[in-house]
Structures are given as C-alpha cells and as structure tokens.
Chain A
Amino acid sequence: MSFLFPIALLGLLSLAVPLILHFIKKAEVQEMDWAAMEFLQVKEARSMRRKSLKNLLLLLSRLAVLAFMVIALARPIGNFFSLGKDKADSILILFDRSAEMAGQLSPGNSFHDIALDELKTALQGYQSSTRVYLLDSATLELVPVLSPDNLEFLAQTSLVDTPTSILQMLSTAGGVLERGEFGKTEFWVVSSDLEAAWEPRSSSWASVQDLVPDGVQVRPFTYETMLPDDLSITLLGTKLVQSQLELEVEVFGGSPGQIVPLNGAWQSGEKLVSEIEIQKDRTRYLVPLTIEEKTDSGSLSLATDDNANNNTIHFAYGPPINVRSLIVTDERDSLLTNYLLRSVALSSRPNQKATWIAPKDLTLTDLSNYDLVVWAANAEGAEERVFIESYVAEGGNAVIFPAPDNETHVKGWFFDKVSEAPIDDFFTIESWRQKDGPWRNADSGNPLPIAHVQGIFVAETTVEGSIMATWSNEQPALIQKFVGSGRLYLLSTLPMPTWSNLENLALHLILVQRVLEGESSDEGGYLQSLVAGKAPYLAELQSQGDRALALNRARVNRDKRIERRAIAKLLDKGELSLASAGKRPMRPWMQPLLYLALLLLIGEAVVQQLPENFGQREERDA
C-alpha cells in the first residue's frame, strides 16, 4: 500500500502523546495499604481493576480512531483489503503521446515518465476487476491494458511527432462508449496541453463538455508547462525630449548579462528595435526611441518567450500644446511678479507661456484664453472675487495669494486679516496631504520639503474647501476648492522673503506646475485613442505637459493562473467531476475539518489521561 500524502503519516507520532501520558499517569500513582478505608469516601469509588480496564479500552479505541484518521489524511492507495478501492467498471486512459510530452518538469523528469508513474500509482487504487483501456492521441485506437506495469511497454505510449487533439480523443472515446458495454466508466485524460483546452472562456470548452458522455467522470492528469525564462516588462513612464521619446521600463526575470531584444513598431509603420542587457532580476531601464512624426503610438515586446501576458508595452505621444497663465500683481517689475512669472513659464517648458496684467485690468480680460490665473495683488472689491470664481467655474484654474499690502483688507475677499509670527519665531506647516493634491509626494515617494516652510506673515481665510496643509497656528496654509469645472487654490503666504521662504523651497512653483499638469492631462484621452486596438489597458498615464502617454499591457490577461482558477471553479461547481481516488483534491472545507477533528480527538485522549480530580476543588460531602 502506498500513500498520496505520506508526509501526513507523521501525524501517527501524535498517538504517542496520550500513550506517554497514560504511562506517566500510571507511574505517578502510588499504591499503598490503608486501614482507614471508611474515611476515603471518594464519590465515585470504583474497582480499580474495572476502571483500569475501561480506561485502557477507551484509550485503545481512541488511538485506533486517531490512527485511522491519520491514515485517511495520508490518502492510502493500493491493496489494503480492497477497502477504499474505487469501483469503476472501466477506465479509459486518453494518452497524449505527442512530442510535447517530452517536456521536462525538472532535469531528467519528462512529462511522459511522470505520467506513466502516476497512472500506475492511480490504478492501484482500483479493484482488480476494473477494466483498463488506453486510447492514444496518434492512432486514436483503443487497446486493453492488462496490467499497470505494462503501460510503459505498450507501443501506444511511446512518443511520436503527431500533435495532440484532446477534443478528438474525447470525441473518439465518447463514440467507443456508445458501442460497448463499459459500465461505470472514467476518462483519464493525460496531456500537457490540458490547461489550454480546459479554458472555460474558449469555445472548445463547451464542446469538451458535450463530448463527455453523461455519467462519465473525468480525471485530468495535468502537467504545468513551466516557462523558465519568463521575462516581463512594465512601462513606468514616458517623456518627450525633443526628438526622442524616452520610455522608463522595468524588466523582471532573466539572468544577468542576458541580452533581451525589444521588438515593436510604430503605428505609422516604422519598426522599432531595441535591446536591454539584464543586470539583475528586477531592473529599470531608459529606452530612447527616435520619433519623426508629430504624433504616433507604438508598442514594444520582449522577444524571449511566448508569454504574451507580460511581454508588451504600449505608448503614444503628440505635439505639445501651449499652456497659458495670467499673472495679476500690483507691479510688473516687482520681485514677486518675477517669481511668479518664472514659476508658471519654465524655461525648460517652451509650451508654457505667461502674461502679466494689473488688477484693474482683470475684469477687462477674457480669462477663457488662459489655463491658469495667479493673483497676488490688492483687491479693490469683492467683484474681482466673483469674476475669478466665474472663470474657475467654467473650467479655469486659479491660485490666489494674499496681497503684499497686508494692511488692506477687502471685505468679501478670499483672504482676511494677516497674522504675524512672534519675533524670532515663525509659523511652520504642521500637516499637509502627502498622497494627493499639489503638494503630494514626488513620484519617487520622497516628500516635498513642506516641513521646512517658515512663514512670517500668514493670511487668514474664511473660504471653505479642502485643507491641503495647515499652519502651526491652525490656520489653513493651502486650500483646494472645486468650483464648477475648475479648481481654486488659496496659498496663505507669499513667496517673498518678507513673508516666507517659499521661494527658496520652490514650493509655489511645484504648486502651479502641478496645477498646469492637470491641464495638459486632459489630452490623455486623445493620446489613448491613438493606441492600436483601443482595448482597455492597465494604463499608467504619464503626461508631463508634453503629451506623451505611457500604457502597459492590455487588460485581457491570459495568465496561466486563470486556467487553474477556472478549473478550480469548475470543480467546485461540479461541472468538472473527477474520479474518486488518488488525485482528486479534497473539497476545500473537508481537509481543515479533518484536521480539526484530529486535533480534538488528540486533545480528548490527552485529557482522559489526566488524573480524575485534576483541576477539581476538594470534595464535599453531599
């Protein structure tokens, strides 16, 4: 007799526990002659001999039950008084003898060899009266198998070049059943192609189901086709730099030194060829691609294996668009105006343009021409606020700073009075939203230097919105407010040396640039539409104002795990029924239940061996 899970037999060692306790308990009991027996009024004084015998029988029966349970968990198969043997009348082995079965699970261990061993072992679990036949994938002829030991010597199990069709084998086997008297029959399907065939989403599954006659149990012998060199690539980001599109990719797998070619093509037709030298298991690379068109999309694949699930990345780019910002300050040539102009129109971003106007000209200006309005001036009246908010509501963005003249307060304005920090002290930002908003952490995960902000003057506000940062005096430092289709930001200090050190930290620049980024990301839909196929993507949209789109692989995932999950689901639903002995997995809830029962039995056997008065208080007379 052999066992499918022989490791479970280690559980037999647990039988020693109640046995040892039994003997310890016996050894601990001191026997002595006693004269004053009348006064030993134990409530249930029984004959020691009778009690010993009863305890011994109880112990033996419990040990026997425990032993049987452990053996059951070890799943015995083979000649064991014919108990546990399955009672199929006939077994039809549908044997894949294609060259693919020569594939090796591990060096020197081919699928073919493993399959023959597993068939022999599985057949031992059946009664000798069960008739066994073999139908091979090449000849599709049924031959009897007189003994499991003969399997490997049958001509019909040797490997040939003829490819396998499981559907064909099943169809043939179904036809055979109709003709003969096979009784209760099981189909044992042995193949390395099995998983692909059993994919429930494939149309072949439905036909497979139809091919299996009613009442026939199917038992698959599957062999995982490992892909030892399964590399995968992920696109992290993309950047348009003049005439080059830089792709930041991450490659998993491979061996150091391995050269991995990347092949692809632009939508416009030009081929893409690149390569990566693997440095370690998980490496990031920059892949520069020369671009010629004004807008295009493409894909690149690792040309190393057939696993299309994780081999390909997709990307797109388009011509840059201008981002226009309007700066409103009291003086054109002031330090503040220069700071703000530099922040909204970076020299490195030629598409960013900025215009200055005086506050009095605000209401005369068509703000719809601008993507961003930055106000850092004295307001003359509440109507300017209304004007700005109307612009924001139409989809614009505005960043409002306090007026440099902190002595003038306009009723109804965004900001109220200004507080000054004590001499030799500063306001600091106590908390801020690090995961979202314009002061979120960098893409690398590093936080911005918000904690280093020092404010001399901070303005109070009664505007209600999302507080993105808070001063140490509990006043909001940065507020974000959605107004209609646009966004309004209030930053309660100025990037001026007399107000704060924001300019040194460039945090106002980060703020406005991120607001501007949000603007350009609206073009992502267009870029996405450029990608071939238009299938839903596991997209990582990257756009840094230059309209380049990084996308990863398509959402349809043909990972082999899905096949295994599908099979598991089918088993649970009963749509795929398996033979009863050996390889059939236990129902998920049965095994933990068996283990729990085993633990309970062991515990009970142990408790039984404890002294009778263990844990009891002193006896009292009735």
Chain B
Amino acid sequence: MNLADYIDSEVAERLKAFLLESRFPVAGAFTGVHRSFLKGTAMEFAELRNYMPGDDLRRMDWKSYARSDKFFLKEYESETNARAYFLLDTSGSMNFAGHDGNSRLTVAKRLIAHLSILLLAQGDSVGVIKELGGGMIAERIRGESNVYRVLNELEERVASGREDLSEQLHSVSRNLPRRSMVVIVSDFLSPLGELEQALQHLRFHSHDVTCLQVLSERETKFDESSAVAFRGMEGEDVVQTNAQVIKKNYLKKLNQHLEELEGMCKRTQTRYHRVLSETDLEESILQLIL
C-alpha cells in the first residue's frame, strides 16, 4: 500500500482545526495543549486550596484571607505538550475485511496516521509502539513534517497469528515514560481476561489510555448467508454452521463482550471508542476527538 494511501490530506487538514486533548495531566517538556501535572506560576488560575505550612507565601490569596480570615493558596494551570503512543494490534484477526473490502489493519493504520498528524500539528510527539528485544518500545517523533516516519512505522506492521495484547500492555507500562497518552488500536475480540489488569497497570503509571476498537458491520450485524464455513484467522478450526440459525446467539455474545469491554474501560478509567471500518474516516476521528 502506498504511504500516501494512509492519508486523506483533505481530512487531515480539516482535522487540524480540532484538538486532541489528554484527559489527565501529562508530563510534557514543552508548552502544549494538555493540562500539566505541574501546576506552576503560569497563566491560568485554577483553584484555591488550604494553606499548608511550607507553601510559597507568594501564592497566598490575600483577598480570600481578607474575606474569611482563612489562608488559601492559589493554584494555576499551565499547558504543556503530550507524548502519544499508538499500540497497533497485529494479530491475524486484524486482517478481517469489512464490506468495503478494507482490512481492519488498514483502517487502523489510517486512523493512527490521521491522529498522528493531528497530534504532531498540535505540538505533541507520537510514537508507534513495536516490539524490540523482548520489550515494547517506540520512537518519539515530533514535528508535522516527520509524519512520514509514522507512516513508515505503520507500513512495516503486518497482521498474522496470535498476539498477547495484555503482555504487550504490561511491557508498555514498564518501558514508556510515565503520563503518556497510549492509544490501543485493536478489535479487542480476544477474551478480556487479563486485559483489565494490563489497563490498570497502565493507569498505575498515570497513562491516559484509550481503547480504540475497530470492528466491521459484518461482525456487528452478522448478515451472512445460511450455510457458511467460518475459517478462523488466528489458527482456529473451521466452523461450518447455518449463520441464520446462530445469529441471535452470536450477536448476544458479541454484545455481551462489548459491554464487558466498555465496563472494563470504565473501571480502569480507560477511554473507549468503537469504530466501524465501513464508517467514514473523518467521522470516526471526529467522534473520537469530540
């Protein structure tokens, strides 16, 4: 696939009008659009808090003292930049193609590409996580002009076999700098079992985690013909069945799984967003950032 195929330049331009903000304070070195963990002397007043012995008296809110005979300290918010990392699921199931013929992997890469452009444009750094030397690492890329490096990373990604997403996330927690934005792009169709723990691990390290689930209408509607032999994409046996007969049960199980996934994300303060591969790219991204 052409690198240029990952980018819809018009969409990218339009997206730059928006900001992709972190929900949690991030630790950035430069002034960016994200709230900073560090509440410093910069610009915007955030809140008052009770004075504690040892606090800087220069931040004392004398007006509040005058009104209430109590000591309050001013807190300010300062904006900084974020480090955003994308973990792309490259298990075999990501090769699943939607009605439009595009594989989930392709859709995921396009999403990452456009989100990267947006992040780079707003001064954030991005990185595409990969496995190297038994650990998950990512090269930080800054500057909008370096988006091609993101695309190169994406281009190298091929989906096949099985992958242990949970294990990858644990490695990410260990290896990435704290308080980063981590966007996990996957179909999340595997059993959720240990994923919650992995997400908690990420949150423990104060990462702002987003689960970006990419599915297809074929999976969510299951309008397949009657007699179908389903071939597993990660080495499972072929299952021959009458799709219409099992449809109700299948959708019930799928929706249960999706509800579990959402619930898990809520519990772990993970942002959850689902994209259908047939949905318009721009619409998908806007839903994510708005």
The yes or no answer to A436 lying at the interface (CB within 8 A) is no
Tally of contact residues, B, Cβ under 8 A: 39
The yes or no answer to A40 lying at the interface (CB within 8 A) is yes
Task: Check A48 against B229 for contact (C-beta < 8 Å).
Answer: yes
The yes or no answer to A556 lying at the interface (CB within 8 A) is no
**Which of B76-84, B115-123, B233-241 is found at the contact surface with chain A?**
B233-241
The yes or no answer to A613 lying at the interface (CB within 8 A) is yes
Please provide the chain A residues from 14 to 52 with a CB less than 8 Å away from any CB of chain B in the complex. 25, 28-42, 45-49, 51
For A52, the closest partner residue in chain B by CB is B240
Please measure, in the bound complex, the distance between the C-alpha atom of A41 and the C-alpha atom of B232, giving whole angstroms.
13
Q: Which residues of A contact B257 (CB under 8 A)?
A: 38-39
The yes or no answer to B11 lying at the interface (CB within 8 A) is no
Q: Which residues of A contact B236 (CB under 8 A)?
A: 37
Q: Which of B224, B239, B246 contacts A37 (CB 8 A)?
A: B239
With A619-B246, A620-B249 in contact, is A31–B254 under 8 Å at CB? Answer: no
Task: Check B191 against A38 for contact (C-beta < 8 Å).
Answer: yes
Task: Check A32 against B237 for contact (C-beta < 8 Å).
Answer: no
For A42, the closest partner residue in chain B by CB is B241
The yes or no answer to B38 lying at the interface (CB within 8 A) is no
The yes or no answer to A616 lying at the interface (CB within 8 A) is yes
With A47-B238, A613-B242 in contact, is A39–B253 under 8 Å at CB? Answer: yes
The yes or no answer to B208 lying at the interface (CB within 8 A) is no
The yes or no answer to B219 lying at the interface (CB within 8 A) is yes
Please measure, in the bound complex, the distance between the C-alpha atom of A29 and the C-alpha atom of B239, giving whole angstroms.
11
The yes or no answer to A612 lying at the interface (CB within 8 A) is yes
The minimal Cβ–Cβ distance linking A612 to chain B, given in whole angstroms, is: 7
The yes or no answer to A178 lying at the interface (CB within 8 A) is no
Tally of contact residues, A, Cβ under 8 A: 32
What does DSSP make chain B's interface, helix, strand, loop or mixed? mixed
Task: Check B250 against A39 for contact (C-beta < 8 Å).
Answer: yes
With A37-B230, A620-B249 in contact, is A48–B237 under 8 Å at CB? Answer: yes
Task: Check A33 against B239 for contact (C-beta < 8 Å).
Answer: no
Task: Check A37 against B249 for contact (C-beta < 8 Å).
Answer: no
Task: Check B238 against A31 for contact (C-beta < 8 Å).
Answer: yes
Task: Check B229 against A613 for contact (C-beta < 8 Å).
Answer: no
Task: Check A40 against B245 for contact (C-beta < 8 Å).
Answer: no
Task: Check A612 against B249 for contact (C-beta < 8 Å).
Answer: no
Task: Check A29 against B227 for contact (C-beta < 8 Å).
Answer: yes
With A30-B227, A611-B226 in contact, is A35–B249 under 8 Å at CB? Answer: no
For A29, the closest partner residue in chain B by CB is B227
Task: Check A37 against B232 for contact (C-beta < 8 Å).
Answer: yes
The yes or no answer to A618 lying at the interface (CB within 8 A) is yes
Q: Which residues of B contact A620 (CB under 8 A)?
A: 249
The yes or no answer to A621 lying at the interface (CB within 8 A) is yes
The minimal Cβ–Cβ distance linking A207 to chain B, given in whole angstroms, is: 72
Q: Which of B191, B230, B242, B250 gathers the greatest number of chain A CB atoms within 10 Å?
A: B230
The yes or no answer to B96 lying at the interface (CB within 8 A) is yes
Please measure, in the bound complex, the distance between the C-alpha atom of A25 and the C-alpha atom of B242, giving whole angstroms.
12
Please measure, in the bound complex, the distance between the C-alpha atom of A32 and the C-alpha atom of B95, giving whole angstroms.
12
The minimal Cβ–Cβ distance linking B186 to chain A, given in whole angstroms, is: 11
Task: Check B246 against A611 for contact (C-beta < 8 Å).
Answer: no
Task: Check A35 against B242 for contact (C-beta < 8 Å).
Answer: no
Q: Which residues of B contact A621 (CB under 8 A)?
A: 249
Q: Which of B96, B190, B248 contacts A34 (CB 8 A)?
A: B96
The yes or no answer to B278 lying at the interface (CB within 8 A) is no
Task: Check A31 against B191 for contact (C-beta < 8 Å).
Answer: no
Q: Which residues of B contact A28 (CB under 8 A)?
A: 226-227
The yes or no answer to B93 lying at the interface (CB within 8 A) is yes
Q: Which residues of A contact B225 (CB under 8 A)?
A: 30
For A46, the closest partner residue in chain B by CB is B237
Q: Which of A30, A51, A611, A621 gathers the greatest number of chain B CB atoms within 10 Å?
A: A30
Please measure, in the bound complex, the distance between the C-alpha atom of A47 and the C-alpha atom of B232, giving whole angstroms.
12
Q: Which residues of B contact A45 (CB under 8 A)?
A: 237, 239, 241
Task: Check A32 against B239 for contact (C-beta < 8 Å).
Answer: no
Q: Which residues of B contact A47 (CB under 8 A)?
A: 237-238
Task: Check B240 against A48 for contact (C-beta < 8 Å).
Answer: yes
Task: Check A42 against B229 for contact (C-beta < 8 Å).
Answer: no
For A50, the closest partner residue in chain B by CB is B237
Please provide the chain A residues from 585 to 622 with a CB less than 8 Å away from any CB of chain B in the complex. 611-614, 616-621
Please measure, in the bound complex, the distance between the C-alpha atom of A617 and the C-alpha atom of B237, giving whole angstroms.
24
Task: Check A619 against B233 for contact (C-beta < 8 Å).
Answer: no
Q: Which of A35, A41, A617 contacts B93 (CB 8 A)?
A: A35
Task: Check B240 against A36 for contact (C-beta < 8 Å).
Answer: no
The yes or no answer to B231 lying at the interface (CB within 8 A) is yes
The yes or no answer to B57 lying at the interface (CB within 8 A) is no
For B229, the closest partner residue in chain A by CB is A31
Q: Which of A35, A42, A614 contacts B246 (CB 8 A)?
A: A42
Q: Which residues of A contact B254 (CB under 8 A)?
A: 36, 39
Please measure, in the bound complex, the distance between the C-alpha atom of A28 and the C-alpha atom of B190, giving whole angstroms.
30
The minimal Cβ–Cβ distance linking B188 to chain A, given in whole angstroms, is: 11
Interface residues of B (CB under 8 A from A): 92-97, 104, 187, 189-191, 219, 224-234, 236-242, 245-250, 253-254, 257
26 contacts between A and B (CB under 8 A): A29-B228, A29-B240, A30-B225, A30-B227, A30-B228, A31-B229, A32-B230, A33-B97, A34-B96, A35-B189, A36-B93, A38-B190, A38-B253, A38-B257, A40-B250, A42-B241, A47-B238, A48-B237, A51-B240, A611-B226, A612-B241, A612-B242, A614-B242, A618-B249, A619-B246, A619-B249
13 further A-B pairs in the complex, CB-CB below 8 A; given A37-B236, A39-B250: A29-B229, A31-B228, A31-B229, A33-B95, A33-B230, A35-B104, A37-B232, A38-B190, A40-B246, A45-B241, A48-B239, A611-B226, A619-B249
